[in-house]
Structure 1
């Protein structure tokens, strides 16, 4: 079986860095990804995709990314099912990132886009009970 997704898009907001009760870093952000076609009126549609990163990768993303930055994300799709307060079953989707590549430079003029993957600890195994939200 294979569950791999690759996205290129812009952050819609600054990443939110949190830590689990066990001290594991977790960051969330949303990517705006344009669809490769237009509608009947010539307008592009955009998907807003939730991304989550863990450990060293989470800390690196929180430190170096901000709203508007262009990134490539490689990871896996995760679908969760939950029940609302009124008893309705809902599903939500997000991408658990294993790699994040910075595709543009920071707006402050820093042109260093090369982050050594070995230095950011992109290991993504975790205990779901550690998620603080």
Structure 2
């Protein structure tokens, strides 16, 4: 099992399959900063297309900019695009999601005066108004 931490790049979408199963699809960007041997600072961004099959209700919290910690399995795929060029992508089959905040849904929740539930040991140690 792998763990990645990154920011959601756009709001999650729920796809309903023929057998009424639901999958939450979203993408995550991970920034990596490093210094070359020549002393140059570089930054590289890696994108993962993520899927989560366990509970579709999480989609409302997976909004653009939310910092997430994901556990799951990584895979890759390659295809030939309509332009004839070879394309590739990284996939992350997510089995566990931890929200670390920063998305629009958290702001909306405060505006609707909903009482967040804290069942995360880390959330109890802070003054954050997070919904988990």
Normalising by the residue count of structure 1, what TM-score does the alignment of the two structures yield? 0.67
Structure 1 unaligned spans of 5+:
115-133
Residues 8 and 64 in structure 2, CA contact (< 8 A), matched pair in contact too = yes
Give the aligned CA root-mean-square deviation in angstroms. Answer: 2.5
Structure number with bigger Rg: 2
Q: How many residues align?
A: 109
Question: In the TM superposition, what are the counterparts of 1:9-88 in structure 2 within 5 Å?
Answer: 9-38=6-35, 41-56=40-55, 59-82=56-79
Report deviation, 1:38. 4.5
* 3-state SS in 2 of match to 1:74: strand
Aligned position for 1:112: 130
* 3-state SS in 2 of match to 1:107: helix
Structure 2 unaligned spans of 5+:
111-115, 117-128
Aligned position for 2:98: 101
* 3-state SS in 1 of match to 2:58: helix
How far apart, CA to CA, are the structure 2 residues paired with 1:33 and 1:43?
14
Q: Give the structure, 1 or 2, with the largest relative contact order (CA under 8 Å, sep 6 or more).
A: 1
Moved more, 99-108 or 22-31: 99-108
Change over 3 Å in CA distance of 1:103–1:27 after alignment to 2: same
How far apart, CA to CA, are the structure 1 residues paired with 2:54 and 2:21?
6
Residues 104 and 113 in structure 1, CA contact (< 8 A), matched pair in contact too = no
